[in-house]
Amino acid sequence: MDPVEVCVVHVGNDAAAETLAGTVQALAQLGLHQITLPLRPGPLLSRIRALEEELAALVVERSLYALHLHGAVACLLGSRALRGSMLRARLPGTTRIVFSPQLGDFGSWKGALVGRLLKAELAPLHGGVLIASPGEAHVLSRLLERSAEVLPPAVDPVFFQLQRHESARPAVLTGGAGSEAVDGVSRLAVLLNGRQDRVPIAWLGPIARPGRAQLHAAGVEVCEAGDEGARTRLLSGATAYLHLSRTTAQLRALAQAMAAGVPCLATDTLAHRAMIRHGETGFICAGDLDFVEKLIVLMRDPAERERVGQAARAEAGRIFTQRHFETALLRAYGFHRVTLLPKKSVHVA
């Protein structure tokens, strides 16, 4: 079979930057032509019209194989644009529509509201293929009455290969997404260090200036650790990793800690329950006191840390490798019958 030129268009915003970047990188390695379109600012109707015009122009210029909408906002705006007469008349019927809503906590009123909006907007697009983050697949499958492909976080092999050398004193790393995570880490720092023996706590990953100031005030060190080498060095000596987040952002950070063999504690969400088997490969915590109690048990019991850390690394090796990520991605895109060109092209509009 002759190679088939495949063009994939991605639409997303900063909130979906992590999964968008991972998807673009994986498809680039496989030789796909890709174009990314950032969502334009402005009033709702003008944003929809701008996206509709951009996509309609691309359809004329390129043979569009797939349109991938990253994030709840992109899914809502993109679905509305797809119903516009300008785009509907030009879009090939064979184009695959891929949705990655990244809804986070369905239990909150925001999650419930976004879920209702997505059902109203996405359900009529019966030809679409849905990629969901871990833990959301079964919920979104019921919501949209179609199967959902789970796209696991992809972890670089260097995290699986690092040798663990715990520091003499307990060292706790934390991470998460948004102001809620910063608030939670700040509270935990106060609870843990309101006694004589202080526990060093460090935030691992990027953080905005207001959050940085709040963490410093709570006695939490901030380690940006932008490259993987810096992250592995910090994880190699960590006693535990605490992931506080009710969204599906930064799931890769949790997966990296598991791959490094660090015992992990995470907020009780669907996404985290899909990644961690409570009591076996880590711990799911219902609140601040739950985090503190389980963390103290781990700090006092080296054998328990070793058991949980090794189980976490084994689980990560089963589901968080680049190969698993690419397999799920290709299955959702339907590339099993397509021979891809050995070219790599990514263009940001």
Does residue 338 have a pLDDT over 50? no
CA of 124: how far to CAs of 132, 146, 150, in Å?
A: 18, 11, 21
Does residue 107 have a pLDDT over 60? no
Ranges 47-51, 97-101, 141-145, 217-221: which has the least confidence: 141-145
Q: Give the whole-number percent of the chain exceeding pLDDT 70.
A: 88
Residues paired with residue 278 on neighbouring β-strands, in sequence order: 282
The reply to whether CATH 1.10.287 applies to domain 7-154+322-348 is: no
CA atoms within 13 A on the CB side of 293: 8
Tally Cβ neighbours within 10 Å of residue 176: 27
Whole-number pLDDT of residue 141: 77
Summary mean pLDDT of the chain: 83
Q: Over the stretch 52-83, which tens digit does the pLDDT of each residue have? A: 999 988 888 888 888 999 888 898 899 889 88
Q: Answer for the pair 67, 95: CB distance below 8 angstroms, yes or no.
A: yes
Q: Give the whole-number percent of the chain exceeding pLDDT 90.
A: 38
The stretch 220-247 carries a mean pLDDT of: 87
Confidence class for position 226, pLDDT limits 50, 70, 90: low
Whole-number pLDDT of residue 191: 87
Three-state SS string over 168-198 comes to CCCCEEEEECHHHHHHHHHHHHHHHCCCCCC
Whole-number pLDDT of residue 5: 59
Q: Answer for the pair 130, 96: CB distance below 8 angstroms, yes or no.
A: no
Q: Over the stretch 184-215, which tens digit does the pLDDT of each residue have? A: 999 999 888 766 667 889 999 888 888 899 99
**Residue 87 to residue 155: CA distance in whole angstroms:** 37
Whole-number pLDDT of residue 203: 94
Contacts 24+ apart (CB under 8 A), 308-312: 308/263, 308/264, 308/280, 308/281, 308/282, 308/283, 309/164, 309/261, 309/262, 309/263, 310/261, 311/280, 311/281, 312/257, 312/258, 312/259, 312/261, 312/262, 312/263, 312/264, 312/276, 312/281, 312/282
Torsion angle defined by CA atoms of residues 241, 246, 250 and 253, in that order, rounded to the nearest 10 degrees: 20
From edge to edge, which strands make up the β-sheet containing 221-223?
Answer: 221-223, 201-204, 172-176, 240-244, 264-267, 283-285
**Residue 236 to residue 177: CA distance in whole angstroms:** 22
Q: Answer for the pair 204, 231: CB distance below 8 angstroms, yes or no.
A: yes
Does residue 111 have a pLDDT over 80? no
Q: Which of 129, 134, 149 is nearest to 75 (CA)?
A: 129
User: Are 7-154+322-348 and 157-319 equal in CATH topology?
Assistant: yes
CA-based torsion, 191, 288, 267, 106: positive or negative: negative
Whole-number pLDDT of residue 149: 80
- Per domain, the residue ranges of the chain are 7-154+322-348, 157-319
The answer to pTM > 0.85 is no
Q: Over the stretch 9-29, which tens digit does the pLDDT of each residue have? A: 999 887 677 778 888 888 888
β pairing state of 172-176 and 201-204 = parallel
Say which CATH class 157-319 falls into: alpha beta
Q: Which amino acid is at 311?
A: A
**Residue 278 to residue 116: CA distance in whole angstroms:** 30
Whole-number pLDDT of residue 154: 86
